[in-house]
Structure 1
Amino acid sequence: MKSKSKDFLEAEQRFLTGENFYAQHLLGVHKEEDVFIFRVWAPNARQVWLVGTFNNWDDSLPMTLRKESGIWEVATPLPAEGDMYKFKVRQADGREILKIDPFAVRFEDRPGTAAVLHTVPEKKWKDGLWRGRQRRSKTLQRPLNIYEVHASSWKQHEDGRPYSFGDLKEELIPYVKELGYTHIEFMPLMEHPLGMSWGYQLTGYFALSSYYGTPAELRDFVEECHLNNIGVFVDWVPGHFCINDDTLPYYDGTPTFEYADPIRAKNNRWGTICFDLGKPQVQSFLISSALFWIEMYHIDGIRVDAVSSVLYLDYDEGPWTPNHEGGNRNYEGFYFLQKLNSVIKLAHPATIMMAEESSSETKITGLIESGSLGFDYKWNMGWMNDVLRFYEMDPYFRKDNFRLLTFSFMYMMNENYILAFSHDEVVHGKKSLMHKMWGDRYKQFANLRNMYTYMMTHPGKKLLFMGSEFGQFLEWKYDEQLEWMNLEDEKNLKMQHFTSTLNQLYKEERALWELEGQQETIEIIDADNLDDTVLTFIRKGKAKKDFLIVVLNLTPVERHDFSIGVPYAGTYQEIFNTEMEEFGGTWTRHNDTSQTIEKPFKQFDYQIQTIVPSLGALILRPEKIQLRVKKSGKATTLKGGKVETSPK
């Protein structure tokens, strides 16, 4: 793209107005004929030089300022593939700082921070069938069960080196497929200098971290996932960035990517710098980054991290500056997120946009025209906190705190939710999910199975952090692999088998996702049984015959002849019991088929009775039921999954 061409001038102008969503084609480094052209946005710099291994890091390649845009550029034939480079910036105050290229697609290995001249090879993708299906399907009415992964600590080589995406392709994909998850979600994969930040303090918004391998390896990994019917999501951080002086902060010596107000620019809670989301050039930069990951790597969705910090001026610790109305709404952040979602949905309607957001003051999901931010899903942080508090509790006190488990029924349709037990719940002394559970080791596993069953049968999509599927006892460590040795213990191995079986059941049972987002998807049977502390409800599909009865016993007391209200006369078969021996329980056979009794139970005309195991969860399916009575005097029944008509 030559500097004086019409295309260049248009791209430059769109960048300045916040409408260039492919800004990486304007800025960064590009090969044109026999030279490389480097461009960087530093409007208030006094001078910028290109320095690198190709010129011994000296000042022999000064860049020229395009005053109308603040973009510096230089053309040179010197560099070659694999060379390292930075921009030497004489800032507004006269200091000279070596700065990274914000648009670099590759960086040198840690602890080095130089950009690497790297051309991502062309790829002939083979995932057209997968992508076509995603474009045609409605995600809300499909199963969505996410396995959350920190790429460098899922598994490591014997010498402590993290798995590259080439390694993960060979081991992670078969593992996720066998366990029955529909998607993998990676914590941020973009370049970051400190592993301790888990990737949430980014420097390279267009670069796969060199710690994880090459861009080509990631593309091959995603393709293989798609060929195995597994989607791939990535976390992405538009709210704040790494504070290191050689990266984005005060790039030209003045607020460039960050807010001019020093109070708004500094994120005290995380020790980072906040993007000025109202600045057009920053909007071009960030939206270009999101689209780059979607298009370069065929990513199926993005989870936007820390949305509350973008929406509310008082989210951070310490003093804050009210908006022009005197309130705490960050209007720049609000409208940026709406713009982000509208641009991505226009370009790629099938891309799933998710928000990690913990407040209830702003509508997160739904149509932007209705006033929402336009996300597809919101993490249900309230549900997660309430449920964990409940399962950590001694069962003696659970009947007095039953509302922790049932309160979500009051608001579950307010947003399109993802029920997430994420990495945030198993670090910093919070204990693993297994370790949180009440009781001795046997009861901890029983509680964990019960809790996972509640998650899988509660309306909403699902997410579980790696290691939780087999009940790892130690909390997650970002610099060590999972405790795979746990699987030498029969209880952990059976827990892993339980999770896999539950995941498969979720995918197969339409009642657990077909009417997602509609009130009709669930009917409460009994959420007031405080004395027994047993919760019962129905999940429904579109067809009358497609429904499941869910029974959760939250105490270590086995309930005999336990009554459950049901909508139709007939028989009901137990299809899932968390206390089966194969899952680590003590039961060797399922309950017998239950025959209805014509006796009212709350809003139902019929009820069944069964045994509910101590700390156990049951799922029952109608086997032979009378759906309705016709005027002809014949009754329609469901028998063995088939509808039959017989005399009344």
Structure 2
Amino acid sequence: MGWFTQDDFDRWLAGEHFDSYHRLGAHPDEHGVWFAVWAPHADYVAVIGDFNGWNPGANPLHKVGGWAGLWEGYVEGARPGHHYKYRIQRGYYHADKTDPYAFRIEAPVPEGNPVAGLSAIVTDLHYPWGDDDWMHRRRGPASLEQPVAAYEVHLGSWRKRADGYSLSYREIAEPLADHVERLGFTHVELLPVMEHPYYASWGYQVVGYYAPTYRYGTPQDLMYLIDYLHQRGIGVLIDWVPAHFATDPQGLVFFDGSTLYEYDDPLMRYHPDWGTYVFDYNKPGVRNFLVSNALFWLDRYHADGLRFDAVASMLYRDYSRSEWRPNRYGGRENLEAISLLKTVNEAAYARFPEVMMVAEESTAWPKVSHPTWEGGLGFLYKWNMGWMHDVLEYMRRDPIHRKYHHHQFTFSMVYAYSEHYILPLSHDEVVHGKGSLWGKMPGDAWQKAAGLRLLYAHMVGHPGKKLLFMGGEFGQEREWNHDAELDWHLLDDPLHAGVFRWVTDLFHLYRNHPALWNDQPGGFEWAVLDDYQQSVFAYERRGGDQTLLFVLNFTPVPREHYRIGLSRAGTWRQLLNSDATPYGGSGVGLVERVATEPEPMHGREQSAAFTLPPLGAMVFAFEAPPEKARRSRRSAAKKPAGARKPGT
């Protein structure tokens, strides 16, 4: 009896075998291992490894399934821990290839056996998960009405051991959970953990799509990290790279002596930005491989979602190309990639309805985060690259010049509700000579720290979920270096410690105030929009029975008796002031409460006078008058048990 069934062949040929990781790769049982690989153009395929002395004649595989191009074979005596590769022959071509479905891969050049470099390792993925409670209550699409704040992490450079090596998956679990919990983030987002021989690619040039990188431990070690974070109430998103793959000769490139995974067309095959090859999404085997891979990380590793890297490069056939091939209608859209993205999202939500699928898409492609049945791509969220670009351009300008670029700050609200957005201050903004977020702020050290606190206040106040790359929470001064740990010693400096304390208080404010989770049009209203001369902005955030006021002064000039029109008459209590001395500020504008007066301003009947701190942000909450609050409580007490809102 063979390893594959007729149903496997039918689904493979249709490009609908979305659990192919159950069949392809290496699957051990009590006596040996079943091996299976897709190599339709090969004349001969054998498995070589520790169990047969790497002899290409010892264990040939058998081609099955006709046009499906699948090869299978059973090796008695092979067991978990054995290293292996596939010997592929086609005519005069022969190569030893790493298993595309390998669950674990050896280092590029392991000590003592250079022949086995990047060899796959037979692996049992069993792990005793302890996160049932988390898996049953994680939010997924319901997070649209909940707080989502992701802390983006590169595991190799977050923190190092005393010997200079990176922490393992297990070693990083507790300190990372402590840090994220203290800061108030809801999720960790991991830069790609799939196997990548070139460390400086940060995981974005993948060879082993089904194998977590060996650098930090075993598959079970990564499962432990995710399990531990879940048990601490922290979600885990994983960066996923379906746009391109590494050209290492042991990997997917020219896999069976043909352009199997990549485009046949040389104009479309090579990605000029990254020196990688591009998947041909029209091939059924490629669709099976990628869709299955996305589901694999959600299934076997309990990932709470995937962040799709470089989606724009998939959507456009002319992306970063001087020469390119149009689609069958003569257009620039990559129809096959669009179909794949929709299929991945549909398959993910059909099997795992409580996950988050996130797109890094840098253009104005419509309906990225809309369901496929509405004509969308089916993602839950899209990174708001426009907000990120505009706000950082505004912040890097000298305050005296900001009045000439007022529109850069306000423009994002024109399209803020067109997608379900995440506001990213990611690793991409602190590499390749861009400097750090701290370095982008103009002025001396005090002004840089104040500028960062102001930037983060607006990030929390602006509609959209949040993402911050590691180091930003305390104002890392130098550009991120993947070879070195973060500059944790900066926390000994009062200014950097103040930024850290501000971020902590700010994100706990976000977690505790539903008004900041309401990313619908009714949840935001400008109070001060057009004061470009003084670079002052104010806006209200609303949700449930809460109304919050954000007041932002983007110049180093304190402003007394600054009057702002407000939507509600009464008392506004100060929740946060970025200029408070514990944050490293000068202590301007600290008040307990501000009361409105019947003095019209900004088109409103009521207003209040504020003292604005230099380069400062203040957050106020409206307080209902005591009698009104009592009436509200009495009304709630009289409400019959189980009563529902109209329409529910």
1:481 maps to 2:472:
no
Q: Distance in 2 between matches of 1:135 and 1:615?
A: 36
Q: Indicate the larger mover: 95-104 or 109-118.
A: 109-118
**Residue 646 (structure 2) aligns with:** none
Alignment of 1:335-374 (within 5 A): 335-374=339-378
How far residue 228 of structure 1 moved from its aligned partner, in angstroms, is 1.3
Q: Secondary structure at the match of 2:505?
A: helix
1:208 maps to 2:199:
no
1:154 maps to 2:158:
yes
How far residue 625 of structure 1 moved from its aligned partner, in angstroms, is 4.3
Q: Distance in 1 between matches of 2:635 and 2:558?
A: 36
**Residue 74 (structure 2) aligns with:** 75
1:457 to 461, 466, 476: 461
User: What do the CA deviations read for 1:331-352 (whole angstroms, capped 9, x no partner)?
Assistant: 0001110111001001111110
Q: Secondary structure at the match of 1:240?
A: coil
2:541 to 539, 542, 556: 539
1:16 maps to 2:51:
no
How far residue 387 of structure 1 moved from its aligned partner, in angstroms, is 0.5
**Residue 549 (structure 1) aligns with:** 549
Q: Distance in 1 between matches of 2:77 and 2:25?
A: 16
Alignment of 1:137-176 (within 5 A): 138-176=142-180
How far residue 531 of structure 1 moved from its aligned partner, in angstroms, is 1.6
The 3 A distance-change label for structure 1 pair 422 and 625 is: same
User: What do the CA deviations read for 1:126-164 (whole angstroms, capped 9, x no partner)?
Assistant: 222222222587110000000000011101112221111
The 3 A distance-change label for structure 1 pair 122 and 464 is: closer
Q: Which amino acid aligns with 2:321?
A: E
- Which segments of 5 or more consecutive residues in structure 1 lack a partner in the other structure? 627-635
User: What do the CA deviations read for 1:574-631 (whole angstroms, capped 9, x no partner)?
Assistant: 11100000111121882242121112122311000010101000111112449xxxxx
Structure 1 runs of 4+ aligned residues shifted over 6 Å read 639-645
**Residue 116 (structure 1) aligns with:** 121
1:530 to 523, 528, 532: 532
User: What do the CA deviations read for 1:229-284 (whole angstroms, capped 9, x no partner)?
Assistant: 11000000111100111100111111211111111111111100111112111111
**Residue 616 (structure 1) aligns with:** 616
Alignment of 1:227-626 (within 5 A): 227-513=231-517, 515-516=518-519, 518-543=520-545, 546-587=546-587, 590-625=590-625
Q: Distance in 2 between matches of 1:202 and 1:639?
A: 60
**Residue 639 (structure 2) aligns with:** none
The 3 A distance-change label for structure 1 pair 328 and 136 is: closer
How far residue 416 of structure 1 moved from its aligned partner, in angstroms, is 0.5
Q: Indicate the larger mover: 596-605 or 329-338.
A: 596-605
How far residue 644 of structure 1 moved from its aligned partner, in angstroms, is 9.8
How far residue 95 of structure 1 moved from its aligned partner, in angstroms, is 1.6
How far residue 643 of structure 1 moved from its aligned partner, in angstroms, is 8.1
The 3 A distance-change label for structure 1 pair 511 and 639 is: farther
Q: Which amino acid aligns with 1:637?
A: K
The 3 A distance-change label for structure 1 pair 157 and 640 is: farther
Q: Distance in 2 between matches of 1:85 and 1:271?
A: 28
Q: Distance in 1 between matches of 2:51 and 2:330?
A: 53
**Is the Cα contact below 8 Å between 1:148 and 1:184 reproduced in 2?**
yes
The 3 A distance-change label for structure 1 pair 173 and 640 is: farther
**Is the Cα contact below 8 Å between 1:623 and 1:639 reproduced in 2?**
no
Q: Distance in 1 between matches of 2:194 and 2:430?
A: 23
Q: Indicate the larger mover: 364-373 or 441-450.
A: 364-373
**Is the Cα contact below 8 Å between 1:623 and 1:640 reproduced in 2?**
no
**Residue 633 (structure 1) aligns with:** none
How far residue 519 of structure 1 moved from its aligned partner, in angstroms, is 0.5
**Is the Cα contact below 8 Å between 2:141 and 2:356 reproduced in 1?**
no
- How many residues align structurally? 627
How far residue 19 of structure 1 moved from its aligned partner, in angstroms, is 1.0
User: What do the CA deviations read for 1:196-249 (whole angstroms, capped 9, x no partner)?
Assistant: 110001111111111121111221221221121110000001111001111001
Q: Secondary structure at the match of 1:223?
A: helix
Q: Distance in 2 between matches of 1:608 and 1:22?
A: 61
User: What do the CA deviations read for 1:20-74 (whole angstroms, capped 9, x no partner)?
Assistant: 1110121111234523221111100121121112222122222222234211222
**Residue 26 (structure 1) aligns with:** 23
Q: How large is the RMSD of aligned CA atoms in angstroms?
A: 1.8
Alignment of 1:56-67 (within 5 A): 56-59=53-56, 60-66=58-64, 67=66
**Is the Cα contact below 8 Å between 1:8 and 1:26 reproduced in 2?**
no
How far residue 12 of structure 1 moved from its aligned partner, in angstroms, is 2.5
Q: Which amino acid aligns with 2:138?
A: Q
**Is the Cα contact below 8 Å between 1:362 and 1:372 reproduced in 2?**
yes
**Residue 38 (structure 2) aligns with:** 41
Q: Which amino acid aligns with 1:80?
A: R
Q: Which amino acid aligns with 2:531?
A: N
Q: Secondary structure at the match of 2:563?
A: strand
**Is the Cα contact below 8 Å between 1:268 and 1:318 reproduced in 2?**
no
Q: Which amino acid aligns with 1:538?
A: E
Q: Secondary structure at the match of 2:503?
A: helix
Q: Secondary structure at the match of 1:463?
A: strand
**Is the Cα contact below 8 Å between 2:526 and 2:540 reproduced in 1?**
yes
Q: Distance in 2 between matches of 1:614 and 1:53?
A: 67
Q: Secondary structure at the match of 1:297?
A: coil
Q: Distance in 1 between matches of 2:610 and 2:550?
A: 12
Q: Indicate the larger mover: 385-394 or 105-114.
A: 105-114
Q: Secondary structure at the match of 1:504?
A: helix
1:101 to 99, 102, 105: 99
**Is the Cα contact below 8 Å between 1:168 and 1:221 reproduced in 2?**
yes
Q: Distance in 1 between matches of 2:271 and 2:523?
A: 41
1:223 to 203, 211, 227: 227
Q: Secondary structure at the match of 1:469?
A: coil
Q: Which amino acid aligns with 1:84?
A: H
- Per the normalisation by structure 2, the TM-score is 0.94
User: What do the CA deviations read for 1:288-344 (whole angstroms, capped 9, x no partner)?
Assistant: 111111111111010000000110001133311111221110000011101110010
Q: Which amino acid aligns with 2:554?
A: L
Q: Which amino acid aligns with 2:76?
A: P
Q: Secondary structure at the match of 2:95?
A: strand
Q: Secondary structure at the match of 2:332?
A: coil
